[in-house]
Amino acid sequence: MSEIRKLIVEFLKIITDQTRLEILQLIKDGEKSSSEIQVNLNKCQSTISQHLKLLVGNGLVVSYQKETLLEFEDPKKKNKINKIMKSINYYKIKSPDIFELLSKIQSFVINTNKEKINNIRDLDILDTLF
């Protein structure tokens, strides 16, 4: 297998995981922190971290840190607000071209599976009737 084919196979492995596709879709319109991604996808922190590491490592997503001011009440002192600066990792799409590719893949899948998709729609309609 040529080197370029190996790279293509590795790339396709990255984008064919459901969680990674959900992450890409989630950050399509703007940056998100890892905790925002975790909450939105309802997945544990370690799972999200592993997927983000792969997306960053394969050049689909960029990561950077932002200093963020966190405020919280001190339970020991009434009405006392503590403030602390914390570095939070944020993630954003490196190149929006990935969505053109995903859109083409989606169109291809729909076109090659029209009969199957129509049957699924028919079943969904029947399912709502009963």
Q: What are phi and psi of 73, to 5 degrees?
A: -80, 140
Burial of 60 (0-12, 13-18, 19+ CB in 10 A): buried
**Distances, alpha carbon 51 to alpha carbons 16, 26, 43, 95, in Å:** 12, 13, 11, 18
What pLDDT, on a 0 to 100 scale, did the predictor assign at position 130?
Answer: 41
Q: Which residue has the tokens 């905790």?
A: 35
Please name which of 31, 88, 20 lies closest in space to residue 53, comparing C-alpha atoms: 20
Mapped onto helix, strand or coil, the DSSP state of residue 77 is: coil
Please name which of 38, 68, 66 lies closest in space to residue 52, comparing C-alpha atoms: 38
Q: Amino acid letter at 108?
A: F
pLDDT (tens digit per residue) in 32-48: 999 999 999 999 999 99
pLDDT (tens digit per residue) in 57-99: 999 999 999 887 777 776 676 666 667 778 889 999 999 999 9
